[in-house]
Amino acid sequence: MSSTDQPALQHTLKKRHLSMIAIAGVIGAGLFVGSGVAIQETGPGVLVSYALAGVVVILVMRMLGEMSAASPETGSFSSYADKAIGRWAGFSIGWLYAWFWIIVLGIEATAGALIMNRWVPGVPQWTWALILMIVLTLTNIISVKSFGEFEFWFASIKVVAIIAFLGMGIVAICGWMPGVEAPGMTNLTGHGGFLPNGTGAMLAAVLVVVFSFFGAEIATIAAGESANPLEAVRAAVKSVVWRILIFYIGSIAVVVTLLPWDSASVALSPYVAVMDSYGIPAAGNIMDVVVLTSVLSCLNSGLYTASRMIFSLAGRGDAPKSLSRIEKTGVPMRAVLVSTIVGFLTVGMNYLSPDKVFLFLVNSSGAIALFVWLVISVSQLRTRRKLEASGQELELKMWFFPYLTYATIAAIIALCIGMLTLDSTRSQMIVSLGLAAILVGIGLYRYRNHKETEDAERADAEVVPVSESAPTP
């Protein structure tokens, strides 16, 4: 078989798939469950925390969108870092990102197994984790279209749930819901005020909520397997603003307006607490279904994302070449299976050593989101200048370049420093920095002569050979 006959990635993801993948990347189980902790620590002012974190994500996505629209690639920001910063940077951030999603597989499989075990206690929790991993591995192996279909329906359920939640919240806030008294501003300004724990708590909460937005970049990776990558990237980036405003800030606003922020039920599960206030029966079970859907969506997209990043790394020589092989179905099955196997191992560690090994693994991925965003920002800064120097017309541009790019870089560095300052996040940053340092060290060692070789080749090209410049005697 000639090289031209080799199977390639299939461009079968449709616009509806990409739009829902973009939405699913932002709406995770952390919104439905983890937001309670942020509300408890901050009060109604958590809305400002979400808004500040959202601004950082919007700016990062705009920068990534600019590069993706100019050159859609499966490796996304890892490929751009390769060209803009250096081979060591693409190598390091690509493996960090793949590692993040592999760890997420273990976390989400365990979370899904907990819910399934509550429903069917006769089946052991580890069995449910195994079943969930196997099912979603199969969806990723069959074809990219099957991944897209599953993600479309998972995301649709989440979107419908949040829209219903928002709709009922607006009705209740306006006093139109029978049996529910209109709260007015009582819960926003009472119970200690809008910032009951001070501005410091509000800024500290940014460190907690910012990671809820990680995953928006998946759409730029999936765009490489869509029929119209440019249109897909443009739509995904432009919709980030309203997705964050409606799904995150809108739904959190409903919670803190309807219920006191210091309520024990809000800290435990804010969305269940609101539905209970409506008098909806079995609110907990309904939310279990929504959270399980979010878990399955995250498992599905996490496996896809990790495998595609490993596939891209293999294609660039940064992973075993065999992992870049594509089956006749258009799926890099070996990359998918490698991601799954490591994912199974992390699930096993959660059951064998949850307080030591698994906790260490989770901490090792704790700050990777910030590292990824920092690399995207620096890559865009350098790539934009190269593109402008070459005269290439950009389909999508970062706003107020380079000032907003510099501001975003400063904000991300501030978040990193903040993680080192807070006791609750210090260990995550230290372990993540340790892993990053190891990978950067390996990358620098691997490509220590790469820049020297490039410079030498460039110098050779500029020098006219003596045999051509001097007259023949």
| Residue type for position 418 | G
pLDDT category at 5 given cuts 50, 70, 90 is low
CATH classification at residue 28: 1.20.1740.10
Share the mean pLDDT of the chain.
83
Q: Is residue 246 part of a domain?
A: yes
CA–CA separation, 250 and 162 (whole Å): 9
Read off the tokens for 394.
């950009």
| Res 169 pLDDT > 80 | yes
Q: How far is CA 6 from the centre of its chain?
A: 31
465 — pLDDT class (breaks 50, 70, 90) = very low
pLDDT score for 25? 64
Which residues neighbour 76 within 8 Å (Cβ) at sequence distance 6 or greater?
A: 64, 68, 217, 220, 221, 224, 309, 312
In a domain, 392, yes or no: no
- With respect to residue 433, please indicate whether it lies within any of the assigned structural domains: yes
The model's pTM is 0.87
Q: Is residue 452 part of a domain?
A: no
Per-residue pLDDT tens over the stretch 171-183? 999 988 888 888 8
Q: If you search the block for the tokens 């698994």, which residue do you land on? A: 358
pLDDT digits (tens, 9 = 90+) for 298-343: 888 888 889 989 999 999 999 999 998 888 878 888 999 998 888 8
pLDDT tens-digit series, residues 223-253: 777 777 777 777 777 777 777 778 888 889 9
Tens of pLDDT along 139-156? Answer: 888 888 888 888 888 888
With a cut of 70, say whether residue 462 has pLDDT above it.
no
What is the C-alpha separation between 91 and 185, in angstroms, rounded?
Answer: 51
Q: What is the mean pLDDT of residues 425-443?
A: 92
Would 469 be classed as within a structural domain? Answer: no
Contacts of 125 (CB under 8 A, 6+ apart): 110, 113, 114, 116, 117, 351
| pLDDT, tens digit (0-9, with 9 covering 90-100), for 85-102 | 999 999 999 999 999 988
- Does residue 18 carry a pLDDT above 90? no
Q: Is residue 84 part of a domain?
A: yes
Is residue 309 within 8 Å of 108, Cβ to Cβ?
no
CA–CA distance, 402 with 411 (Å, rounded to integer): 14
Express each pLDDT in 98-148 by its tens digit: 999 888 888 888 888 888 888 998 888 888 888 888 888 888 888 888 888
Q: How far apart are the first and last CA of the chain?
A: 52
Instruction: Tell me if 145 is assigned to some domain.
Output: yes
* pLDDT for residue 460 is more than 80: no
Asked if the structure places residue 450 within a domain, the reply is no
Domain, as residue range, for 377: 13-387+400-444
Q: Domain tally for the chain?
A: 1
- Alpha helices by DSSP H, listed for 316-422, are 333-352, 357-364, 368-390, 403-421
Closest CA to 85 of 377, 370, 437, 457: 377
Which pLDDT score, from 0 to 100, does residue 86 have?
92
For residues 372-398, b (16+ Cβ closer than 10 Å) or e, as one string?
Answer: bbbbbbbbbbebbeebeeeeeeeebeb
Q: What is the pLDDT of residue 314?
A: 92
Write the pLDDT tens digit of every residue in 373-426: 999 999 999 999 998 888 888 888 999 999 999 999 999 999 999 999 888 888
Tell me the mean pLDDT in the region 1-7.
Answer: 51
